Amino acid sequence: LLIRKPYHFRPGTATSREIHRYQKSTESLKLPFQRLVVLEIIKQILCCDRFEGTHLCSIHAKRTTIMPKDVQSARRIR
């Protein structure tokens, strides 16, 4: 049973092949990146909203420190 060694192309060959592939394609490369950016923005907004509610719960309890029960209360309220 012979096991062949994987063939290694010269430096730059795979890169130039990839460049040619993207030059031939008609798909937009910008859209997937924009979708990722939008997802990150939404995630950040939701996280900030949760922490604002948590902060308000801790203020209501006359504390300055945020505790796990504040997070749970804020989650239940919203």
CATH of domain 29-77: 1.10.20.10
62 and 70 Cβ atoms separated by less than 8 Å: no
pLDDT recorded at residue 70: 96
Question: What residues contact 49, with CB distance under 8 A and at least 6 apart?
Answer: 78
The whole-model pTM stands at 0.58
pLDDT one-digit tens code per residue, 9-59:
899 999 999 999 999 988 887 888 899 999 999 999 999 999 999 999 999
Q: Write out the two tokens for 2.
A: 């012979």
CA distances from 20 to 4, 26, 67 (A): 28, 12, 55
Length of the chain: 78
